[in-house]
Amino acid sequence: MAQAVLRPPVRGPTFIRLLARLTATDLAPPGPSLPDRLGRWLDWKHALALAAALDVRPTEPGATATAPDDLHAECAQARQTLTAAIKGDPLLAGTTPAPAEPDYTAFRQLCLGRQRATQATVGRLRGKLRDALATWPGMAPLAEVDAAMEAVLTPREHVLLARVPELLGQRFERLRAAGDASTTWLDNFRRDMRSVLLAELDLRFQPVDALLAALRTS
């Protein structure tokens, strides 16, 4: 009797594990460690910028420094707004009538729009948090390091996350092919897509959360 082949468990953030499960993607085995990969990704310009960031001298708190509580509230509100936009979108909530032959195009545009909104918000918040950290004792080097690392990692992040709409499209087609005349499969896809977008939001906010934590301890 043939036995089902068990896929090895996927390790990593919820976002990665969720995508792997929904798309039945076989991930490559773990490669070099993060420090080794960073060493390969850093060109000489990035290396100089990172070295300069590590040499930044700590500063005294400025008179116009933004209070950590205010920044925490602003970041929390921004995250809540993005979360509500995903959860409350009519297309994902199923509050709009489903067409006779559902198409992935509208879902793709929604995914791209949510990604752009999250990217813009995270970039703006990281900049404000770095400006705040630069005015607090001992935190200026961290602000410079974050700016240097953002320059290195953001292009790679864009390339990798640009695959999300494609992978969701594959999930859409697979569910549609296996579904029946009802719209149950479409409801399942809406739930899956909502979960992926929320997990991606959490992933993108990790640098913001880290800078907030540093600001709270400064």
Mean pLDDT of 21-28: 68
Question: Model confidence over 111-165: pLDDT tens digits?
Answer: 999 999 999 999 999 999 999 988 887 788 888 888 888 888 888 889 989 999 9
**Domain regions of the chain by residue span:** 72-217
Structure confidence at residue 16 as a pLDDT band (50, 70, 90): confident
Lowest-confidence segment of 9-13, 31-35, 59-63, 104-108 by average pLDDT: 59-63
Q: In 3-state terms, what secondary structure has residue 85?
A: helix
| CB-count exposure of residue 178 (10 Å: 0-12, 13-18, 19+) | exposed
Structure confidence at residue 64 as a pLDDT band (50, 70, 90): very low
